[in-house]
Copies of this chain bind each other. A is one copy, B any other.
Amino acid sequence: MPVEVYMFEEAAGLNLSKSELGGKGYGLVEMTKLGLPVPPGIVITTNMCNEFFKRGGKLWPELEAAILAKVSELERHTGKRFGDETNPLLVSVRSGAPVSMPGMMDTVLNLGINDRVTAVLARKTGDERFAYDTYRRFIQLFGKIVIGVPGEKFDAVLEKQKQAKGAKSDMDVDAAGWREVAKQYNELIKREAGKPVPQDPKEQLLMAVGAVFGSWWNKRAIEYRKIYKVPDSLGTAVNIVTMVYGNLDDKSGTGVAFTRDPSSGARELYGEFLMRAQGEDVVAGIRTPEQVERLNKELPNAYKELVSTAKKLERHFRDMQDIEFTVEAGKLYMLQTRNGKRTANAAVKIAIDMVAEGLITKEEAVLRVEPEQLQRLLYKQIDPKAKAEPMLKGLAAAPGAAAGRIVFTNEEAKAASERHEKVILVRPETTPEDIVGIASSNGVLTSRGGMTSHAAVVTRGMGKPCIVGAESAKISVEHGTLVVGDKTIKKGDIITIDGGSGLVFEGEMPLVEPRMSADVTELLSWADGFRRLGVRANADTPEMARKARENGASGIGLDRTERMFNAPDRLAIIQKMILAETREERESYLAKLKPMQKSDFKTIFREMEGLPVTIRLLDVPLHEFLPKLEEILPEVTEMRIRGADKAKLADRERILRRVMELKEYNPMMGQRGVRLSLMYPEIYMMQAGAIFEAAAELKKEERIDVEPQIMISQVAEAEEMGRARAIVEAQAAEVAKSTGVKLKYEVGSMIETPRAALTAPMIAKYADFFSFGTNDLTQATFAFSRDDVESKFMPFYLDNKLLQNNPFETLDQSGVGRLVAMAASEGKDANPKLHVGICGEHGGDPRSIEFFNSTRIDYVSCSPYRVPVARLSAAQAELRKRHKESSTV
């Protein structure tokens, strides 16, 4: 590999990429190109970093030679020389990865200084204090970063010195003080590492370059990359930049700024500035920095140049910039520029404004806002400014934040809600019987269960915050306590839960209200113009349907009918149906449910007038509607031992017996969905009948048109779909006959078993549409039971990089995605009229949407609260795809 070490001007001529130059290097090179005041410097590419590690973490002769050759060039360029007695060259050595990793890697300032150079500096500037301050800063950074002496030890030395001199702050330390500190630092290093900081600037430089490369694999950086999913393979570039001195004199200072307000997005320079300061002083919090406008008073020319530079940078980079600068003796130097991080609000506003300013196109504006940022605008949040330590962490099951008094029972929750009190329902786990409690509370916290547990699914549907599987909490319903470690929270105490992060806080945290501003609405309308994928919502209730429509869904992609069974007045009927011993008896209970289901469908159909509504017929196994074995078994055991009333015992024993009969070893792969309903066709008959009657009556009586798309779940074999379709069609014919209304409807298949995906062409012959149930499909493809793995081994897998992403959040492309793409394509080949959607939770995940956009899928369906995110993501995916295609052509 040839060595890649360039002067900034040289790199500018070569048009090197950000992935080669790193973020910082790229900014410096681009600014050099623009003729902005950048101190002269050298960049060593990221390729050299990777080569460095390939060679066992060592610099090699060719690279060393190249670096030193460029240093000579730098010396010629600046007229300064390393170790020179009259005009010594000092440089900073800065890391810079292709992706911003703020504060994660190391930088050495003032390199090139040594005992003699310090003296020269003192003499030359006439400022001995400045010279020794500069020296001690270098020794400290070099000692810590390159040699590896712990930072605290330097702090201790400095503290002691300040005490001895009675100095309150660094500003009070005089020249002698810094000289003493420098001396003691050097002694410290010698003591700790056995050798002092080298005096030879070239030796310093090569050591520092190695250390900066090495910092790519320091613990902080590794952690950061894990969290932000930055590939380990990127590597860091190294920038060697001629030092300028913000601490030189009274006309010097240093600052950071954003070209627009990163919080509101307002179009004004926004930042902080410190006179007589260098490097980290601004952000270190030792001295309080001033607003950047202040510079206008202190150094108006420099400020004017800064403002015009900011404008130039925005015009060049066509985005808001985050810059670092230093003023040395009144002259402005630009040390860094990069695209600035911003809040969700600011992101949207800046994107919209820049279109208006003619800086970017609408396409670019749509690409500028992170979908997850947008999401944050749609839920209540804990105020980002509030700081507190969480007391507990669980699985982030349903987003949003809520604060309230904790309650442990449905009765307490209901009573509190009737008093208009905010409460959080806390339970080991929830069952269908807890629906009242959930409905009455502002949020739910459970110690058991996974992302598809009852609590998680129900709250997501309701748009309420929820945390599940907080396994380190001991919840006693009996005692009304929530115990975490040695902390006990009692009934009536207030907690705050953040369902977006899974964090629980003691007491009431300030919350920020969501808002969907005019800017967001505009941005999304642009997005809609660019996307290929349709966006529907998963909605089971009229409220959710309304929310879906508000948020721009073009239909319902998944209406789970069993939620309708879980309503308190219906559960009792369902249970009786399950205990029934003959088809006739079963049908009598189904007949009672039918008008209820019909009325449910009507309310949803009214909300969705004119749009398709995809209804999934009964999916879950029957035992989900009965008590759990671990509840009913001890209950009956106890009744038996205590000699309970015979009739009551017999009653509970009957339920226990049925629970035992229906018990399944692996209910997720048991008798559910189509497998259940082909054996008990009366269930599908009731449901399909209720749907068609509801639609027919609405059409007749209210002139409301809807298109029911009836969906069969758990299909693994085409024949299942054929039989189920026949049952549904028979009901449609019957309703058409009895009402005289002919309805438009479709019958489709969930594709959620691997076999359904593998035999898609056969299933497509019986289906008008496919809808991928990517949750179940992921489960079966990995053979990972979601409820088990998320609490048991998924954290271990993610921490240890056994998996790069949680496949239940972001679609696994190489396994599950391969099935999805294949089945969508083969299904459409077999049945050209087939339309194809996805309705798993991946439907609201931006990276998954990007993948779906690359397949023959027609639409995604997600939570109503994720619809805006999906709209934006779908647009971005399509824009990126077009871009990629046009750049390959």
State the A residues within 8 Å of B (CB): 629-630, 633-634, 637-638, 641-642, 660, 664-671, 675-676, 678-679, 714, 716-717, 719-720, 723, 752-755, 758-759, 762, 776, 779-785, 787-789, 792-793, 796, 800-803, 812, 814-816, 818-819
Assess whether B666 is in contact with A669, with CB atoms less than 8 Å apart.
yes
Assess whether A669 is in contact with B669, with CB atoms less than 8 Å apart.
yes
Assess whether A753 is in contact with B781, with CB atoms less than 8 Å apart.
yes
Contact among B634, B664, B755, B781 for A637, CB-based, below 8 A: B634
Would you mind naming 7 contact pairs between A and B with Cβ atoms under 8 Å apart? Answer: A666-B785, A669-B789, A671-B792, A671-B793, A716-B782, A754-B819, A755-B781
Nearest-neighbour CB distance to chain B for A262, whole angstroms, equals 38
Residue on B with the closest CB to A796? B679
Assess whether A666 is in contact with B787, with CB atoms less than 8 Å apart.
yes
Q: Which residues of the partner chain B approach A642 to less than 8 Å between Cβ atoms?
A: 641
Q: Which residues of the partner chain B approach A779 to less than 8 Å between Cβ atoms?
A: 669
Assess whether A788 is in contact with B723, with CB atoms less than 8 Å apart.
no
Q: A637-B634, A719-B803 are in contact. Are A666 and B788 (CB under 8 A)?
A: yes
Nearest-neighbour CB distance to chain B for A752, whole angstroms, equals 8
Residue on B with the closest CB to A818? B758
Residue on B with the closest CB to A673? B783
Assess whether A785 is in contact with B633, with CB atoms less than 8 Å apart.
no
Assess whether B665 is in contact with A665, with CB atoms less than 8 Å apart.
no
Nearest-neighbour CB distance to chain B for A715, whole angstroms, equals 10
Copies of this chain held together in the complex? 2
Q: A634-B634, A637-B637, A803-B719 are in contact. Are A788 and B664 (CB under 8 A)?
A: yes
Q: Which residues of the partner chain B approach A802 to less than 8 Å between Cβ atoms?
A: 678, 717, 719-720, 723
Q: Which residues of the partner chain B approach A679 to less than 8 Å between Cβ atoms?
A: 793, 796
Q: Which residues of the partner chain B approach A717 to less than 8 Å between Cβ atoms?
A: 782, 802-803
Nearest-neighbour CB distance to chain B for A40, whole angstroms, equals 46
Nearest-neighbour CB distance to chain B for A35, whole angstroms, equals 49
Assess whether B671 is in contact with A668, with CB atoms less than 8 Å apart.
no
The interface centre, meaning the residue of A675, A720, A723, A776 with most chain B CB atoms within 10 A of its CB, is A675
Residue on B with the closest CB to A816? B755
Q: Which residues of the partner chain B approach A716 to less than 8 Å between Cβ atoms?
A: 781-784, 815
Q: Which residues of the partner chain B approach A629 to less than 8 Å between Cβ atoms?
A: 629-630
Contact among B633, B762, B788, B815 for A759, CB-based, below 8 A: B815
Q: Which residues of the partner chain B approach A714 to less than 8 Å between Cβ atoms?
A: 783
Nearest-neighbour CB distance to chain B for A296, whole angstroms, equals 56
Q: Which residues of the partner chain B approach A720 to less than 8 Å between Cβ atoms?
A: 802
Contact among B630, B667, B755 for A812, CB-based, below 8 A: B755
Assess whether A670 is in contact with B755, with CB atoms less than 8 Å apart.
no
Cα A665 to Cα B666 with chains together (Å)? 7
Nearest-neighbour CB distance to chain B for A166, whole angstroms, equals 53
Assess whether B670 is in contact with A792, with CB atoms less than 8 Å apart.
yes
Residue on B with the closest CB to A720? B802
Residue on B with the closest CB to A752? B783
Q: Which residues of the partner chain B approach A670 to less than 8 Å between Cβ atoms?
A: 785, 788-789, 792
Q: Which residues of the partner chain B approach A678 to less than 8 Å between Cβ atoms?
A: 796, 800, 802
Nearest-neighbour CB distance to chain B for A658, whole angstroms, equals 14
Nearest-neighbour CB distance to chain B for A45, whole angstroms, equals 30
Q: Which residues of the partner chain B approach A815 to less than 8 Å between Cβ atoms?
A: 716, 754-755, 758-759
Residue on B with the closest CB to A802? B719
Q: A634-B633, A678-B802, A758-B814 are in contact. Are A783 and B785 (CB under 8 A)?
A: no
Assess whether A785 is in contact with B664, with CB atoms less than 8 Å apart.
yes
Assess whether B668 is in contact with A783, with CB atoms less than 8 Å apart.
yes
Q: Which residues of the partner chain B approach A637 to less than 8 Å between Cβ atoms?
A: 633-634, 637-638
Known contacts A634-B634, A675-B789, A755-B783, then 16 further A-B pairs from the complex at CB < 8 Å, ordered by chain A residue: A629-B629, A633-B637, A641-B642, A665-B787, A665-B788, A666-B788, A669-B783, A671-B788, A671-B789, A671-B793, A678-B800, A716-B781, A716-B783, A754-B780, A754-B781, A776-B783
Assess whether B719 is in contact with A753, with CB atoms less than 8 Å apart.
no
Assess whether B675 is in contact with A793, with CB atoms less than 8 Å apart.
yes
Q: Which 9 A-B pairs have the closest CB atoms?
A: A666-B785, A755-B815, A669-B785, A753-B783, A670-B788, A754-B754, A634-B637, A665-B787, A666-B666
Cα A781 to Cα B669 with chains together (Å)? 10
Assess whether B803 is in contact with A782, with CB atoms less than 8 Å apart.
no
Nearest-neighbour CB distance to chain B for A727, whole angstroms, equals 13
Cα A758 to Cα B792 with chains together (Å)? 24
Q: Which residues of the partner chain B approach A630 to less than 8 Å between Cβ atoms?
A: 629, 633, 660
Residue on B with the closest CB to A669? B785
Q: A814-B759, A814-B762 are in contact. Are A667 and B667 (CB under 8 A)?
A: no
Assess whether B719 is in contact with A801, with CB atoms less than 8 Å apart.
yes
Q: Which residues of the partner chain B approach A759 to less than 8 Å between Cβ atoms?
A: 814-815
Cα A780 to Cα B638 with chains together (Å)? 39
Q: Which residues of the partner chain B approach A676 to less than 8 Å between Cβ atoms?
A: 793
Q: Which residues of the partner chain B approach A723 to less than 8 Å between Cβ atoms?
A: 802
Cα A664 to Cα B664 with chains together (Å)? 12
Residue on B with the closest CB to A672? B783
Cα A630 to Cα B633 with chains together (Å)? 8
Nearest-neighbour CB distance to chain B for A329, whole angstroms, equals 56
Nearest-neighbour CB distance to chain B for A233, whole angstroms, equals 16
Cα A792 to Cα B637 with chains together (Å)? 27
Q: Which residues of the partner chain B approach A818 to less than 8 Å between Cβ atoms?
A: 758
Nearest-neighbour CB distance to chain B for A883, whole angstroms, equals 29
Residue on B with the closest CB to A753? B783
Cα A666 to Cα B791 with chains together (Å)? 13
Q: Which residues of the partner chain B approach A752 to less than 8 Å between Cβ atoms?
A: 783
The interface centre, meaning the residue of A634, A669, A792 with most chain B CB atoms within 10 A of its CB, is A669
Residue on B with the closest CB to A449? B665
Assess whether B782 is in contact with A783, with CB atoms less than 8 Å apart.
no
Residue on B with the closest CB to A642? B641
Cα A666 to Cα B666 with chains together (Å)? 4
Cα A675 to Cα B717 with chains together (Å)? 30
Q: A716-B784, A782-B753 are in contact. Are A667 and B669 (CB under 8 A)?
A: no
Q: Which residues of the partner chain B approach A793 to less than 8 Å between Cβ atoms?
A: 671, 675-676, 679
Cα A789 to Cα B753 with chains together (Å)? 15
Contact among B641, B669, B785 for A784, CB-based, below 8 A: B669
Nearest-neighbour CB distance to chain B for A619, whole angstroms, equals 12
Q: A714-B783, A783-B776 are in contact. Are A788 and B755 (CB under 8 A)?
A: no
Q: Which residues of the partner chain B approach A814 to less than 8 Å between Cβ atoms?
A: 758-759, 762
Cα A668 to Cα B779 with chains together (Å)? 11
Q: Which residues of the partner chain B approach A789 to less than 8 Å between Cβ atoms?
A: 669-671, 675
Nearest-neighbour CB distance to chain B for A345, whole angstroms, equals 39
